Amino acid sequence: MTMRFACRRRLSTTCFHILFVTFLMATFLPLGWGSEETTSEETTEESDDKLLEHLALFAEVLAYVQQKHLDNPDSKELIEGAIKGTLRALDPYSQFIPDYLEFRTQNRGNYGGLGMSIGIREDMLTVITPFKDFPAALAGVLNGDIISHIEGESTAVMTLDEAVDQLRGEPGTSVSITIIRSKESRPIEVTITREVIRIPSVEKEIIGNKVGYIKINSFLETTANDVDNAFVDFNAHDIRGVILDLRLNPGGLLTSAVDIASDFLKPGQLVVYSQGTEPRENFKASGKPRENFPLIVLVNGGSASASEIVAGAIKDHGRGLIMGSKTFGKASVQRVFRLGDSNTAVKLTFARYYTPKGTDIDKIGIMPDVESAGFSRSEQQMQAKLRNHEKLKTFVEENGDDVLAQLEAAERASRDDRHAVKLLRQYQRLADALTEEQIVLSDIGIKYAIARITENPRDELEQDPQIVAAMEQLKVLELFGQRN
């Protein structure tokens, strides 16, 4: 009886100490619990009472853990675990940073990666963008894949930043991931070797009948200058319209997104605004706008953050036509706060971005004006099997690097053209051989695979079904503009 009383007394004492320290921290936090601008004194007092009630519950649980748990738990691990759980309940991007100096070093350092961006969708770690020709894409990872495990550890309890840290490492080392893919009955195990990832911010070409094509892979400090250089080349070739490709673009710098949107909007037009715990902040177009070319913007489920800001601004102002599929829906603002005199910090979401017409990008994403289908997931898997396929290489070597142009001419040629008939028969034999290997693709799918082998970079663009559809829509916009 005496022992039970003493144990209960120790538990009460521990609980009191925990609650007292927590109460002091809560009372003297620099941010305060209420604001006269937003809450009344009664509301603030009620909030304080509820907070203390929950803190008392937390203190009691922690006291029981310390006194009664089989193991001897480390108090630092317990508190940090509780903090991480608190932040995980808020949103996927808020994060406790136990070592602020290491956090800053990691964000500036040169690390090996897999060449993909990831995010949280419906509480699951999801691939936003596997960048073309980098380790993840070469291993067959697709946009929309769910990463359920990293090195055998479930991602269900990981924060986004913890998952990124697990995937990142020394170049040349490997990491194993488990993927859950739609319409696949079993998980897919993939081992990928890390590389130093250097992805060009901007790619540009002149395709079709004088169409300027700009592909922005990510929004960096140099992106606006790279786009300026692209337009110098476009103007020299008297282009008829522009395709701005933001597919599989995970985002980047807000300032860069505003600069790119300014290329197409009138000075002073609203690009985006942020709103949250602080007053609304507007970001407007500035500088000298480009010539009013007909404009198509391509987006898909891998378009996120800064790319959604640009697409949303162009859509809301009616400056161009948005084509593709619904974007990812990720546009929140985080800020890092140092904690006291320690080396710890906390990263918190404090605002969201909204399009000029008030669409909450983070919750809704950007819906295209015209839905345009690319290759299906099964077709993408087939395409991955054809990367550097020997039969495709042989077909290109036998017929020349311009074989796609030859095929296009052959399909229009008369039946008396022997060369055309021979080439079309050879192409049909190639398609039949691939079918025997259980690689079944549409005509444009096979030609796209061939385009990835030829040396001409325009081939791949001009065989992309969404770019083909965009070029057709540009003709309509051009005709409409002439009539008006």
How many helical (H) and strand (E) elements, i.e. helices and strands, does the chain have?
17, 19
Q: List phi, psi (to 5°) of 206.
A: -110, 115
Q: Please give the Cα distance from 385 to 114 (Å, whole number).
A: 19
- Residue finishing a domain among 148, 176, 196: 196
Residues 6+ apart with CB under 8 A from 414: 420
How many CB atoms within 10 Å of residue 264?
Answer: 22
> Is 339 part of any domain?
no
With respect to residue 87, please indicate whether it lies within any of the assigned structural domains: no
Of 16-25, 73-82, 177-186, 364-373, which gets the smallest average pLDDT? 16-25
CA 127 to chain centre: 8
**What is the DSSP code (8-state) at residue 289?**
P
**Dist CA 267 CA 283 (whole Å):** 11
129, 162, 196 - which closes a domain: 196
Kindly state whether residues 326 and 219 are assigned to the same domain: yes
Q: Cβ of 429: how many Cβ atoms within 10 Å?
A: 12
Residue 423 or 483, more confident: 423
By C-alpha distance, which of 112, 108, 146 is closest to 126? Answer: 146
pLDDT at 11: 54
**Residues 401 and 265 occupy one common structural domain:** no
Q: In what order do the strands lie in the sheet with 202-207?
A: 202-207, 211-216, 241-245, 295-299, 321-324, 370-371
- Domain assignment present for residue 97? The answer is no
- Residue type at 378? S
Residue showing tokens 């980098």: 134
Strand, helix or coil for residue 460: helix
Give a yes or no: residue 469 inside a domain. no
| Residue type at position 33 | W
> Are residues 219 and 160 both part of a single domain?
no
Residue 28 burial (10 A CB sphere; 0-12, 13-18, 19+): exposed
The total number of structural domains in the chain stands at 4
Asked whether residue 217 falls in the same domain as residue 268, the answer is: yes
- Domain shared by 37 and 150, yes or no: no
CATH number of the domain where residue 290 is located = 3.90.226.10
265-321, pLDDT tens digit by residue?
A: 999 999 999 999 999 999 999 988 788 899 999 999 999 999 999 999 999 999 999
* 268/307 same-domain check: yes
Minimal CA–CA distance to 294: which of 405, 226, 208? 208
The string of pLDDT tens digits covering residues 108-155 is 445 689 999 898 888 899 998 898 889 999 999 998 899 999 999 999
| 69 shares its domain with 9 | yes
Residues 134 and 180 in one domain: yes
Q: Which of 97-118 are b and which e, b meaning 16 or more Cβ less than 10 Å from the residue's Cβ?
A: beebeebeeeeeeebbbbbbbb
Catalytically active residues, by annotation = 305, 316, 330
Q: Is there a single domain that holds both residue 234 and residue 353?
A: yes
Per the structure, the complete domain to which residue 408 belongs is given by 377-463
**Cβ-Cβ contacts under 8 Å for 444 (sequence gap 6 or more):** 463, 465, 468
Residue ending a domain, choose from 17, 44, 73: 73
Please answer whether residues 125 and 112 qualify as being in contact, where contact means their C-beta atoms are separated by less than 8 angstroms. Answer: no
Token readout for 19 is 């609650």
Residue 478 counted as domain residue: no
- Assigned domain for 249 exists: yes
Whole-number Å distance between alpha carbons of 242 and 313: 16
Task: For residues 215 and 288, state if they share a domain.
Answer: yes
For the segment 84-100, what is each residue's pLDDT rounded down to a tens digit?
888 888 888 888 988 88
Return the structure tokens found at 453: 């082998």
C-beta separation of 246 from 299 below 8 A? yes
Place of tokens 């144990």: 7
Statement: residue 373 has pLDDT above 80: yes
For residue range 215-236, list pLDDT tens digits in order.
999 999 899 999 999 999 999 9
Q: Cβ distance 474 to 219 under 8 Å?
A: no
In a domain, 280, yes or no: yes
Given a cut of 60, whether residue 38 has pLDDT beyond it is no
151-187, pLDDT tens digit by residue?
999 999 888 888 988 999 889 999 999 999 988 889 9
Q: Which residue has the tokens 């990510």?
A: 218
User: Is 343 among the domain residues?
Assistant: no
My answer on whether 259 and 167 are in the same domain is: no
The Cα–Cα gap between 192 and 194 comes to 6
**pLDDT at residue 25 is higher than 60:** no
Q: What is the pLDDT of residue 17?
A: 55
- 158 and 214 part of one domain: no
How much is the pLDDT for 9? 52
**Whole-number Cα distances in Å, 222 to 69, 187, 321, 388:** 55, 39, 26, 32
**C-alpha to C-alpha distance for 360 and 364, rounded to whole angstroms:** 6
Q: Which residues pair with 334 in a beta bridge?
A: 349
Domain of residue 137, CATH code: 2.30.42.10
